Amino acid sequence: MSVLVTAGELLAADRGRTVLLDVRWALGDDRGRERYLAGHLPGAVFVDLDTELADPPSAARGRHPLPSVQRLQAAARRWGIREGGAVVAYDATGGLAAARAWWLLRWGGLSDVRLLDGGLDAWVRAGGDVELGDVVPEPGDVVLTGGGMPVLSIDEAAALPSTGVLLDARAGERYRGEVEPVDPRAGHVPGAVSAPTTGNLASDGTFRPATELAQRFAELGVGPGTTVGVYCGSGVTAAHEVAALAAAGIDAALWPGSWSQWSADPRRPAATGPAPG
């Protein structure tokens, strides 16, 4: 199943059984719903990342712990997802938030879940209409089983650099420990490789072509068959990196606790500066 759908493809498709999820969110910005109400894809349902795509934050599990499969299923039914239906998630930030919904639903066991490549901007550029106000769908009946995507624990992430590649999807300055706007300590997991998610995108907010993504990850030591895991601050933009890797034909595991979990544990070492070499 393809990771992405273009705006043109979505415009031309029969969307009768496709649920559209609007996942506008950014760190420190709580205006996602406000922006959704001001204009969204016709029929799209707003998804609150903090409350519907995560459990409450904790030092032990990080800022965006995975919800239980039962909680995710209840949310998916509220969004109107039905058995045998399809899902397209989007945002207005190149998929950096929507990828969390894509990954979670795939993790929950759904296979027909895609990201709208380029999000709302691409839709508008392609001539798609937007509508105002809220959408409250008929409840769905989807059944989620879990286990659809690989997950790393904190100890598995710590050990991965010795057997594979652990990618850090945060901005380079956070990886190097120059700044840390939200988590307890600055730096990165020893042995992790810096791979900011912004490098997955072209200038128009769409994903770079699969061949370019494959080349990017090859330069970071990752290719088909590599054992690879991804983390970020709290498991949100790491999902975007997993999506980009999948688009390049590479399977990757996500570490949900990410740096917010690691940095809250004083027993865990924090490396700073650029990667060796």
Provide CB contacts within 8 A for 122, sequence distance 6+.
Answer: 6, 7, 116, 204, 205, 206
Q: What is the pLDDT of residue 162?
A: 96
Helices (H) and strands (E) in the chain, counts: 11, 9
* Cβ(233)–Cβ(170) below 8 Å: yes
Q: Given the structure tokens 């989807």, which residue do they identify?
A: 142
Q: What is the pLDDT of residue 27?
A: 78
Q: What is the pLDDT of residue 277?
A: 56
Give the pLDDT confidence of 126-141 residue by residue, as tens digits. Answer: 999 999 999 999 999 9
Query: What is the C-alpha to C-alpha distance for residues 94 and 13, in angstroms, rounded to an integer?
Result: 21
Query: What is the C-alpha to C-alpha distance for residues 24 and 26, in angstroms, rounded to an integer?
Result: 7
Check whether domain 154-262 has CATH 3.40.250.10, yes or no: yes
Q: What is the pLDDT of residue 15?
A: 82
Q: What is the pLDDT of residue 251?
A: 96
| pTM of the entire predicted model | 0.96
Q: What is the pLDDT of residue 30?
A: 83
Check whether domain 4-125 has CATH 1.10.8.50, yes or no: no
Give the chain's radius of gyration (CA, Å): 18
Ordered by start, the domain boundaries in the chain are 4-125, 154-262
Which residues does the chain have with pLDDT short of 70?
Answer: 1, 276-277
Domains 4-125 and 154-262 share a fold: yes
Q: What is the pLDDT of residue 98?
A: 98
Residue numbers annotated as active site = 232
Q: What is the pLDDT of residue 275?
A: 78
